[in-house]
Structure 1
Amino acid sequence: MNTAATPSVRAGDRDRDITAGLLGQALAQGYLAMAEYESRLQMVYDAYTMPDLGRLTSDLPVAELRRNDPQRRAARVAAARRGVRVHLAGYLAMVVIVLTVWLAVGLGAGSWYFWPVWPILGAGIGVLAHALPVKYATPACPRVKRVRP
């Protein structure tokens, strides 16, 4: 089979959108001027093959653009916060269970030593050790200020 005569792989809309997104990130991070961005963006939507698209981003630090992508950063922050919520929900379920067992033993056997303090404190330290770094290492969520009439 003669590979020299084989045509290049055609680019699809998704490929063009990905390339346009990279160019937008390059503009936002100062790698491209507005005029160059507009010119390259027009070439993105005129491109037919993957090599045509590749040439439009070949001089850009694509790995750096993806690493500093605001959408990616926001997704990672959201995932970290979701993880803390799941951890907190498990902790609260454990607290309810140990308090229920303590109450049942207290009512049934008359033993009122408050032993649940130990698993509650131990697991609470774990939740705090998970939640505090997420709270202080991630940017604050924009809050909407409510104006009262």
Structure 2
Amino acid sequence: MTTSAWPAPTTQRAGDRDREATATLLGQALAQGYLDMAEYEARLPTAFSAQTTADLRRLTADLPLAQLRRNDPRRRAALRAAARRSVRLHLAGYLAMVVIVLTVWLAVGLTAGSWYFWPIWPILGAGIGVLGHAVPIRYACR
């Protein structure tokens, strides 16, 4: 049996992602009034120079982390903007589909003389999908 040259770690080392997450939490605490500017400025350099995750946890031990993550106004605004953007993208795809099926219908009508308005079915079906996406987003973002 061989023994390792490295001792078993007693604490976990902190990485850049851990340091950045802690800095983000400290910024949210500042924005929501849990920290004043002097406290924030004192904790931030400590967060970026921390070597272990225990050091990072000590910096945020006195903060209500669940409240910071859930009630951050910037987070809510970003979620609303992403939801609205998703509806706009869905609508753009829908309108592109409408233009394509109407163009195909017109081309078939002009060349074959078949004027049955079949595009109504994909237009209605996809339109229901767009409405099913847009209406809940509209009411959720109020």
TM-score (norm 1): 0.65
Any residues of structure 2 matched to 1:91-102 within 5 Å, and which? 91-102=94-105
The 8 Å contact of residues 26 and 40 in structure 2, kept in 1 or not, is answered as yes
Unaligned runs of 5+ in 1: 140-149
- Secondary structure of the equivalent of 1:11? coil
| Pair 1:22-2:1 in alignment | no
Shift of 1:7: 5.0
The 8 Å contact of residues 11 and 52 in structure 2, kept in 1 or not, is answered as yes
Residue in 2 that maps onto 1:76: 79
Query: Per the alignment, do residues 37 and 124 of structure 1 end up closer, same or farther by CA in structure 2, a change over 3 Å counting?
Result: same
- Secondary structure of the equivalent of 1:10? coil
Residue in 1 that maps onto 2:91: 88
Query: Per the alignment, do residues 47 and 119 of structure 1 end up closer, same or farther by CA in structure 2, a change over 3 Å counting?
Result: closer
Query: Per the alignment, do residues 24 and 121 of structure 1 end up closer, same or farther by CA in structure 2, a change over 3 Å counting?
Result: same
Question: What is the identity percentage for the equivalent residue pairs of Structure 1 and Structure 2?
Answer: 74
Any residues of structure 2 matched to 1:1-149 within 5 Å, and which? 6-45=9-48, 47-138=50-141
Output the CA distance in 1 between the equivalents of 2:73 and 2:28: 9
CA RMSD of aligned residues (A): 3.2
Paired residues in the alignment total: 137
Output the CA distance in 1 between the equivalents of 2:32 and 2:81: 23
Query: Per the alignment, do residues 32 and 105 of structure 1 end up closer, same or farther by CA in structure 2, a change over 3 Å counting?
Result: same
TM-score (norm 2): 0.68
Unaligned runs of 5+ in 2: none
Query: Per the alignment, do residues 9 and 117 of structure 1 end up closer, same or farther by CA in structure 2, a change over 3 Å counting?
Result: closer
